[in-house]
Amino acid sequence: MHIVGTAGHVDHGKSSLVAALTGTNPDRWLEEQLRGMTLDLGFAHLVLDNGIEAGIVDVPGHERFLHNMLAGAAGMDVLLLVVDVNEGVMPQTREHLDILRYLNVRRTIVALTKIDLLSEDELGIAREAIAGDLRGTIAEGAETIEVSSHTGAGLDQLRNALADTLASLPARDAEAPLYLPVDRVFALPGLGTVVTGTLMQGRVRAGDTVTFAPSGRGSRVRSVHVFGKQRGAVEAGSRVALNVPGIDRHDVARGEAVVGREFSGRTHLDVRFTALPGALKLLQRRTPVHAYIGSAEVLGTLLLEERPGSNEMRARLVLRTPVVAFPGVRFVLRRLSPHILLGGGFVEGIEANAPGGDGATPAETAIAGALAQAGTDAMAAGDIAVAANLREDVVVKTLDALIERGDVIRLQRPVAFVHATAAREYLTAVIAYLEEMHRNEPWAMGATSVGIARATGKGEALAVRLLAAFADEGRIANRGGYYAAVDFTPALTPKQREFFDQLVSVDAGNPFVPVPFDEVTSAVRKAQIPGAGKAFDTLLARGVLIKVGEFLYRGSQIAQIQARVEQFLLRAGKMTASEFRDLLGTSRKYAVPLLEWLDARGITLRSGDYRTLRKRST
């Protein structure tokens, strides 16, 4: 089997295309579905004619989640580059291509998506512009197929192209030592921990004893699954799920690798590095970097012996924490802050782990020391200056270097600084609390900052700023004021569901009549159903129920109302309040708040007595 990976700019239609090809929506998370945006890797099983199959890894296009894209990128051997014909090649199209040229991609197919939105003439122009923009990248001259995930146009052609490409690829090396970078960890009731990843080389069988590196934990593999089917053994090139009951789910994470006895974690790597031309001026003799190897993301320093040029050069990569690496393994480097892609390459040799002096300046040591003392109590630059006995301008400058190295985190409003180690420890405590809360109250959206602050013994003002920093990095989710573990989706109990179904029911004869909001809240208050209040919040937060003025509608009612209004306005151009009432067969009491709601949502625009459509929604 081989791995097909998507790449391309945000919203260009990667996930929609994967869903159209496989029937699986790769956006697994609630937050992804709410925002219509991929945040983390998604997976799907592609089955083509003649029994050809492949694993698909779908990546997020948004630059904020590039670290997640990178965790899946190493496993791709066929690249499915997705470009929206309406927008053409965009920044993350280029960035993804820059990243993938350093990794294991062997063949590229370009899918031009959303062709249903363009005329034949426009399509001709777009086609040429895109081909021109792809010159000089790994997608130059690649087979290009025009598709629409909405109409299905071109999908058969794309399937054929994928089948030909997959059939022509040689198998990956199954005789090499086992190397399976872990990209997902979860626990199943009755089974225990399951890890998934792309089997890069080697093979794994049920019953094998494997090691997680660099942590060094060992476990027997109870069972091996490939896309939901149990297998006795699996060879390189496949997506794999391993049930490893001997390992606690919290003891492994993305970034570790499942290996045989040959490999262990390394920190000192001799590498061949090629800089991106645009990054040459950012490289110094010692450059702090984020290194991406397999599914791991680690901090380190790139050491160059010569002035960087655009050719491949010998260099050394010294990592803060060990990762599994061996000659031939590929990597990508990013600058720490701002996150700019520097280049990448492959490992040439590894060294016995040597202690590396971190080369910190006295000012850096003093500031890091002051912050470490303060724990998570954020310090302003002025306070750090006093504690470290340094001039404030020196502190400000040095903090930049420490932030860039990942040793210090900047909080906002007001700006202050915390030591990264303390922040990480606090993050671990927050995630543990969130997971416990999700277990106890699976119907709730999550925790508020007040609740988290109380549970973790932090002042609320500080907790809010730390939580904002974590959410900004995508380590936890913030969904309309509720914090949650990123992969958590709330689910009501059958009792709760039944209760709300009855409470907010739709009358088939009068489908647009709402329920008074007050009535519902007092019924919820009186209900003898555990968790009814939080379940109600969840329904509101997810748009299953929608409050309009003093009334409560089902989301499905509002969707129908909106569709009718849009249809009417597309036809008639404008609409009066009484036309709106007739359209829905509803009374003034309900119509006025509904119209105001539609205005506030940016669906309609009010001018005098009329409403018009604010913009064509697609």
Ligand X SMILES: Nc1nc2c(ncn2[C@@H]2O[C@H](COP(=O)(O)OP(=O)(O)OP(=O)(O)O)[C@@H](O)[C@H]2O)c(=O)[nH]1
Reference 480, options 519, 527, 531, 537; nearest CA is 537
Considering the rule CB under 5 A, would residue 93 count as an interface residue with Mg ion? no
For tokens 């370009």, name the residue.
110
Reference 234, options 178, 289, 303; nearest CA is 178
Q: Nearest-5° angle of CA 413, CA 414, CA 419?
A: 100
Reading the block at residue 331, the tokens are: 């990597």
Element (H, E) at 159: helix 155-168
Considering the rule CB under 6 A, would residue 235 count as an interface residue with ligand X? no
Residue closest to ligand X when measured from CB atoms: 61
- Closer residue to Mg ion in complex, CB, 150/564: 150
Reference 179, options 347, 314, 315, 312; nearest CA is 347
Considering the rule CB under 6 A, would residue 117 count as an interface residue with ligand X? yes
Considering the rule CB under 6 A, would residue 604 count as an interface residue with ligand X? no
Considering the rule CB under 6 A, would residue 36 count as an interface residue with ligand X? yes
Considering the rule CB under 6 A, would residue 12 count as an interface residue with ligand X? yes
- Closer residue to ligand X in complex, CB, 177/543: 543
Residue 43 CB, nearest approach to ligand X (Å): 14
Residue 78 CB, nearest approach to ligand X (Å): 17
Judged by CB under 6 A, which of 2, 28, 62, 334 binds ligand X? 62
Residue 33 CB, nearest approach to ligand X (Å): 10
Considering the rule CB under 6 A, would residue 10 count as an interface residue with ligand X? yes
Contact 180, 199 (CB under 8 A): yes
- Closer residue to ligand X in complex, CB, 66/445: 66
Instruction: Pick what 13 binds: Mg ion, ligand X, none; C-beta below 5 to 8 Å, kind-dependent.
Output: ligand X
Considering only 4-12, 183-191, 389-397, 436-444, which stretch makes contact with ligand X by CB under 6 A? 4-12
Considering only 32-40, 120-128, 224-232, 371-379, which stretch makes contact with ligand X by CB under 6 A? 32-40
Cβ-in-10-Å burial (0-12, 13-18, 19+) of 523 comes to middle
Taking CA atoms, 482 is separated from 35, 452, 536, in Å, by 15, 10, 14
Q: Collect all residues with Cβ–Cβ distance below 8 Å to 40 and sequence separation of at least 6.
A: 28, 29, 32, 60, 65, 68, 474, 486, 487
Reference 464, options 447, 443, 445; nearest CA is 447
Considering the rule CB under 6 A, would residue 96 count as an interface residue with ligand X? no
Residue 58 CB, nearest approach to Mg ion (Å): 6
Reading the block at residue 465, the tokens are: 């700023």
Q: Read off the DSSP letter of residue 278.
A: G
d(CA 402, CA 390): 15
- Closer residue to ligand X in complex, CB, 45/225: 45
d(CA 194, CA 199): 15
For tokens 């001039």, name the residue.
391
How many residues touch Mg ion under the rule CB under 5 A: the total is: 3
- Closer residue to Mg ion in complex, CB, 18/603: 18
How many residues touch ligand X under the rule CB under 6 A: the total is: 21
d(CA 448, CA 459): 13
Considering only 8-16, 209-217, 464-472, 561-569, which stretch makes contact with Mg ion by CB under 5 A? 8-16
Judged by CB under 6 A, which of 5, 15, 145, 185 binds ligand X? 15
Reference 476, options 452, 458, 457; nearest CA is 452
Contact 18, 58 (CB under 8 A): yes
Residue 340 CB, nearest approach to Mg ion (Å): 23
Considering the rule CB under 6 A, would residue 114 count as an interface residue with ligand X? yes
Reference 297, options 72, 39, 525; nearest CA is 72
Residue 38 CB, nearest approach to ligand X (Å): 3
Instruction: Pick what 260 binds: Mg ion, ligand X, none; C-beta below 5 to 8 Å, kind-dependent.
Output: none
Q: Collect all residues with Cβ–Cβ distance below 8 Å to 449 and sequence separation of at least 6.
A: 460, 463, 464, 467, 483
Reading the block at residue 298, the tokens are: 């680690």
| Pairing mode of beta strands 2-7, 78-84 | parallel
Cβ-in-10-Å burial (0-12, 13-18, 19+) of 189 comes to exposed
- Closer residue to ligand X in complex, CB, 145/236: 145
- Closer residue to ligand X in complex, CB, 83/484: 83
Residue 75 CB, nearest approach to ligand X (Å): 18
Considering the rule CB under 6 A, would residue 93 count as an interface residue with ligand X? no
- Closer residue to Mg ion in complex, CB, 63/248: 63
Cβ-in-10-Å burial (0-12, 13-18, 19+) of 175 comes to exposed
Judged by CB under 6 A, which of 60, 265, 322, 531 binds ligand X? 60
SS3 328: coil
Tally the residues of the chain.
Answer: 618
- Closer residue to ligand X in complex, CB, 113/193: 113
Contact 52, 166 (CB under 8 A): yes
Report 212-231 residues binding ligand X (CB under 6 A).
none
Instruction: Pick what 343 binds: Mg ion, ligand X, none; C-beta below 5 to 8 Å, kind-dependent.
Output: none
- Closer residue to Mg ion in complex, CB, 9/611: 9
- Closer residue to Mg ion in complex, CB, 7/289: 7
Judged by CB under 6 A, which of 22, 68, 113, 557 binds ligand X? 113
d(CA 488, CA 495): 21
Residue 20 CB, nearest approach to Mg ion (Å): 12
- Closer residue to ligand X in complex, CB, 81/204: 81
Report 132-161 residues binding ligand X (CB under 6 A).
148-150
Considering the rule CB under 6 A, would residue 37 count as an interface residue with ligand X? yes
Judged by CB under 5 A, which of 1, 15, 108, 538 binds Mg ion? 15
Report 21-80 residues binding Mg ion (CB under 5 A).
38
Instruction: Pick what 12 binds: ligand X, Mg ion, none; C-beta below 5 to 8 Å, kind-dependent.
Output: ligand X
Considering only 11-19, 469-477, 522-530, 550-558, which stretch makes contact with ligand X by CB under 6 A? 11-19
Site for ligand X, rule CB under 6 A: 8, 10-16, 36-38, 60-62, 113-114, 116-117, 148-150
Site for Mg ion, rule CB under 5 A: 14-15, 38
